[in-house]
A and B are shown apart, each in its own frame.
Chain A
Amino acid sequence: MQAEDRLDVERLGGFAGMGGPGARIRSTGSLHGRELSAADRGRVAALFGGAKPPDGHPGAADGFRYRLTLHRDGASPAVVEVPEAAVPGPVRDCVHDELT
Chain B
Amino acid sequence: MRMTCTCHIVPKDILERLAGDKKLSTELRRAARDSARLSDGLRNLRSQAAELTQLAQATGAHLVELAPSPKVTVYDCKHSQTLPGTPVPGAKTSRDATAKRCFAETTQVAKFFKSVFGRNSIDDAGMTMMSSVHFGKNYNNAMWNGTQMVYGDGDGKLFVDFTQGDDVIGHELTHGVTQHSLQLAYSGDAGGLNESLSDCFGSMFRQWSAKQDVTQADWLIGADIMGPTAKSRGFKALRNMAKPDDKAALAPQPTKYSQITAGMDPHYSSGPPNLAFCTACVTLGGHSWEKIGQVWYAALTTSGAHPKMTMPQFAARTRQLAAQKYPSQAVVAAAVDAGWKKVGL
Question: Which one of B12, B146, B252 contacts A59 once the chains associate, using CB atoms below 8 Å?
Answer: B146
Q: Which residues of A contact B73 (CB under 8 A)?
A: none
Whether A52 touches B168, Cβ cut-off 8 Å, given contacts A14-B140, A58-B50, is: no
B154-206 interface with A by 8 A CB criterion: 155, 158-159, 162, 168, 171-172, 175-176, 178-180, 183, 186, 194-195, 198
Given contacts A58-B49, A93-B137, 9 further A-B contacts (CB under 8 A): A13-B267, A15-B141, A23-B251, A54-B8, A59-B144, A59-B175, A60-B143, A61-B194, A61-B266
Q: Are B141 and A62 in contact (CB under 8 A)?
A: yes
Q: Are A17 and B145 in contact (CB under 8 A)?
A: no
- Work out how many contacts link A and B, with CB atoms closer than 8 A: 143
* B345 CB-CB contact with A under 8 Å: no
Q: Which residues of B contact A55 (CB under 8 A)?
A: 5, 43, 46
Give Cα A86–Cα B9 distance, bound, in whole angstroms. 8
Q: Which residues of A contact B158 (CB under 8 A)?
A: 25, 97, 99
Whether A17 touches B268, Cβ cut-off 8 Å, given contacts A59-B176, A60-B186, is: yes
Q: Are B145 and A63 in contact (CB under 8 A)?
A: yes
CB nearest neighbor in A for B138: A97
- Find the residue from B145, B147, B172 having the highest chain A CB count within 10 A: B145
Q: Which residues of A contact B175 (CB under 8 A)?
A: 59, 61-62
Question: Which one of B9, B186, B267 contacts A17 once the chains associate, using CB atoms below 8 Å?
Answer: B267
Q: Are B171 and A15 in contact (CB under 8 A)?
A: yes
Q: Are A97 and B9 in contact (CB under 8 A)?
A: no
* B238 CB-CB contact with A under 8 Å: yes
Give Cα A93–Cα B155 distance, bound, in whole angstroms. 13
Q: Are A16 and B268 in contact (CB under 8 A)?
A: no
A45 to chain B, nearest CB (A): 9
A residues sitting closer than 8 Å to B (CB atoms) are 12-17, 19-25, 27, 42-43, 46, 49-64, 84-86, 89, 93, 97, 99
Q: Which residues of B contact A17 (CB under 8 A)?
A: 238, 251, 265-268
* B64 CB-CB contact with A under 8 Å: no
Q: Which residues of A contact B46 (CB under 8 A)?
A: 55, 57-58
Q: Are A97 and B140 in contact (CB under 8 A)?
A: yes
Interface 9-mer from B85-93, B229-237, B279-287: B229-237
B278 to chain A, nearest CB (A): 18
* B250 CB-CB contact with A under 8 Å: yes
Q: Which residues of B contact A97 (CB under 8 A)?
A: 140, 155, 158
Whether A15 touches B146, Cβ cut-off 8 Å, given contacts A58-B46, A58-B50, A89-B81, is: no
Q: Which residues of B contact A63 (CB under 8 A)?
A: 141, 143, 145
* B13 CB-CB contact with A under 8 Å: yes
Whether A22 touches B143, Cβ cut-off 8 Å, given contacts A15-B222, A61-B186, A99-B229, is: no
CB nearest neighbor in B for A16: B238
- Find the residue from A14, A51, A93 having the highest chain B CB count within 10 A: A14
Question: Which one of B53, B198, B235 contacts A61 once the chains associate, using CB atoms below 8 Å?
Answer: B198
CB nearest neighbor in A for B9: A54
Give Cα A46–Cα B50 distance, bound, in whole angstroms. 27
